[in-house]
Amino acid sequence: MWLRDALLTFCRWCNGSFFGHGIRDSVWLFPFVEIFHLIGLGILGGTILMLNLRLLRLAFRTEETARLARDVQPWMLSSLAVMLISGFLLFSTEAVKMYGNWAFRTKMSFLLLAIIFTFTIHRKVVAADESRVKAGWRVSVALISLLLWSGVGLGGRAIGYVTTSASSVTGALLP
């Protein structure tokens, strides 16, 4: 209960913040920020796909996996930073509404899991000597990664189709 109240308080703060008002009240700022969010998504998705296709040995067969990972890492980290920052800015325009949106919660759950997985297990498998990683483990890691990041994208896409009024969220949660 306290976590739910704390999250709602945070969402209300975001709605009333400089970012929330500024972007929400501007004709061009929301689409401008969204462009960066989508560019970040495309670059991040491309780097994730490249690494996982290499782990599955479906592409980049002549390239060593660890080297490919080192080559795409700056792009991956930069695009993730752009997505997180722009995502927060977009979220701040409708934070209370997003609080009650199951597609948004699904996206955020997948995002948290995908980031944790990518920077722990996936990173370890990608950096390992290929001869020391069993094929089944390599394939499993690639498929789990693709599933998690696809969940982020699909959850994000579903947000626009799930409607939740802010008043229904705040009214249901007030004592």
Taking only the tens of pLDDT, the chain with its 175 residues reads 788 888 888 989 988 888 888 898 898 999 999 999 999 999 999 999 999 999 998 988 888 888 999 999 999 999 999 999 999 999 999 988 888 889 999 999 999 999 999 999 999 998 887 777 787 888 999 999 999 999 999 999 998 888 765 545 555 444 4
Total Cβ atoms within 10 A of residue 132: 6
- Cα-based distances in Å from 171 to 28, 99, 107, 168: 31, 12, 24, 5
Q: What tokens appear for 17 in the block?
A: 């913040």
Q: Locate the domains of the chain by residue range.
A: 2-173
The packing angle between helices 65-92 and 2-16, to 10°, is 80
